Chain A
Amino acid sequence: MAVIGGSTTGRKARWTFVDIAVVAYALIPVLWTMSLSFKTAEAQTDKNFFPSEWTFDNYKAIFTTDQFVRALVNSIGIALIATLIAVVLGTMAAYAIARLDFPGKQALVGVSLLIAMFPQVSLVSPLFEMERQLGLFDTWPGLILPYITFALPLAIYTLSAFFREIPWELEKAAKMDGATPAQAFRRVIAPLAAPGVFTTAILVFIFCWNDFLFAISLTSTEASRTVPAALAFFTGASQFEAPVGSISAAAVVITIPIIVFVLFFQRRIVAGLTSGAVKG
């Protein structure tokens, strides 16, 4: 790069070009889905990238069917509960891993690493049978439990990496200055730990929100089917009409939270992902 050195504008122009390529790479499939969701039923087969005529009919259609609304409620509820529990349990374990010395610590880290790499489909058969026997099949807890399990390694890794960075001496200093342990925790430690916990919550939520395999294997009705699973079972207005519009509209709706997270918390998500995987 130093060879061409001189002109900064030239280099800037080249980087701008590269940036545009990256942005196009990331956005084209998303824009395509949006475009389909705004196309009228007749225009869906015109194979144009952009709709010639815009309509909100597809959105109106999905929000008036129980199929989608129920699934959306399930998705939100299940992902939030699983995230909450996984983050609480993960915070406890990560605190212990980062700050305390006890036998079995390495074993726990090893086990969570194993679970992170675990082929989820290997669990589908036994969980399917066990949940049927326990009456958990096709219920919220039936999905929340495996989600927590697979989110925990992620939570523990990310959080313990964050907790290692916290200057814990500050807690002692606060106590010396006369703060009670509760005050020291609330005023000093909690604000320092909050960003890490929050980042982890986002990553865990994205994971739960994303899951498809458990969602179609361990549910069978609208009682607990989440949106990704429901999408696969969408039907058109008639038997012979492909549900392109409704699927695309539903897809756009469940992409919104992801886009919001990414826009507002880009820095944190990057920090969380990299600290968890490579303790740099």
Chain B
Amino acid sequence: MSQQTVESGPAATPAEPAPRKGKPALSEGKRAERRLGWLLCAPAAIVMLAVTGWPIIYSVWLSLQRYDLRFPDQREFVGLENYVAVLSDGYWWTAFGVTVLLTVVSVAIELVLGMLLALVMHRTLVGRGLVRTVSLIPYGIVTVVAAFSWFYAWNADTGYLADMFGAQAPLTEQIPSLLIIILAEVWKTTPFMALLLMAGLALVPDDLLKAASMDGATAWQRFTKVMLPVMKPAILVALLFRTLDAFRIFDNIFVLTKGANDTSSVSMITYNNLIKGLNLGIGSTMSVLIFIAVAIIAFIFVKLFGASAPGSDQEGRR
């Protein structure tokens, strides 16, 4: 074997410089493969860039203008004036605070509940199919439909829950409203979290758990010392997806409170400025700010992921 390699060495050298010289020297097959690859990806790439890339640039441009559709004559370039206006506005910061609060609290609860649900789906002895099927319902159901269900459950006129808890009109006060919004979010998205975590659970080798339990590890130790480390990538992926998703919360708030009593999220006030207020300049400014906030969150997560980030192909497939 080694004999052959040594011998074929010198013979192969003359051929080597050709491919090294550059891309043009690719074999016919390689080039055809590239062309086919580009051709197949082009439509998807073009659509995605056309509907997201260009509008984002356009919204940066709009955010630098005074542009209110009710007074189109007054449209003019105002530099960073809109940013100053938004960032020095109490409403924006209240909405920002509400959004961060909702995101942190609901994602934290979802992580705990989702882990419990994942364990149930993974380990239950009875009706595993049933549990999995049923927990997909909150995931699949239209968010607005679920939101209306919670709205009528807590509404003072119709609600069985409001009645049961003796609450007068919880959706007209800030703190109860926020709690109900969190309840609606958690109900809807915990199953999704659980499914992602379940995929992580499936990666935990059974032998390892058995070995740990032989060595006298308690259930809790097995969970924290064996399962959690193996599941870390899955947990981070689930957290990333859910955090970014929670940060754009809109549907539940729109139905439950319409943003009254300081319960607006950043998406909600952007919508109000844009569609209700028809103020494209301010609306776009908020859009850009939300985009930046999301980029920062994503950046922090990617730092946490390190090499196991989704998209870094090698590690992801492990």
Contacts and interface: CB of A to CB of B under 8 A. Distances in A.
B311 A95 contact: no
A266 B129 CA distance: 8
A47 B157 CA distance: 8
Given A22-B120, A105-B37, A121 B248 contact: yes
B88 to A, nearest CB: 20
B125 A121 contact: no
Interface in B274-305: 274-275, 280, 283-284, 286-288, 290-291, 293-294, 298
B6 interface: no
B143 A210 contact: yes
Contact of A126 (B56, B163, B202, B298): B56
A16 B128 CA distance: 10
B37 A102 contact: yes
A275 B237 CA distance: 12
A267 B144 CA distance: 25
Contact of B55 (A45, A130, A270): A130
A262 B41 contact: no
Contact of B51 (A104, A145, A216, A261): A145
Nearest to A229: B144
Contact of B126 (A15, A33, A156): A15
B290 A266 contact: no
B109 interface: no
Contacts of B56: 122-123, 126
B97 interface: no
Nearest to B219: A1
A113 B309 CA distance: 11
A232 B286 CA distance: 24
A279 B316 contact: yes
Interface string A15-54: 1101100110111011011001000000011011100000
A90 B59 CA distance: 27
How big is chain A's contact interface, by range? 35 or more
B148 A231 contact: yes
B145 A23 contact: no
Contacts of B150: 29
B190 to A, nearest CB: 8
A23 B310 contact: no
B215 interface: no
Interface in B213-247: 213, 219, 233-234, 237-238, 240-241, 244, 247
A194 interface: no
Contacts, number: 315
Interface string A115-129: 111111111111111
A180 interface: no
Interface in A246-271: 247-248, 251, 254-255, 258-259, 261-263, 266-267, 269-270
Contacts of A127: 51, 55
B125 to A, nearest CB: 5
A166 to B, nearest CB: 15
B284 A126 contact: yes
Nearest to B183: A29
B251 interface: yes
A92 interface: yes
A30 B139 CA distance: 12
Contact of B145 (A45, A109, A115, A255): A255
Interface centre among B130, B134, B198, by most chain A C-beta atoms within 10 angstroms, is B134
Contacts of A32: 149, 152-153, 160
Interface in B140-162: 140-146, 148-150, 152-153, 157-160, 162
A221 interface: no
Given A19-B120, A26-B134, A27-B137, A217 B199 contact: no
A16 B290 contact: no
A255 B267 CA distance: 25
Given A11-B125, A92-B40, A258-B141, A125 B280 contact: yes
8 smallest A-B Cβ distances: which pairs? A102-B37, A126-B55, A274-B199, A149-B51, A96-B40, A126-B59, A258-B140, A93-B44
Interface of A: 1-2, 8, 11-12, 15-16, 18-19, 22-23, 25-27, 29-30, 32-33, 36, 44-45, 47-49, 89-90, 92-93, 95-97, 100-106, 108-130, 145-146, 148-149, 152-153, 156, 164, 206, 209-210, 212-213, 216-217, 227-228, 231-232, 242, 244, 247-248, 251, 254-255, 258-259, 261-263, 266-267, 269-270, 273-275, 277-280
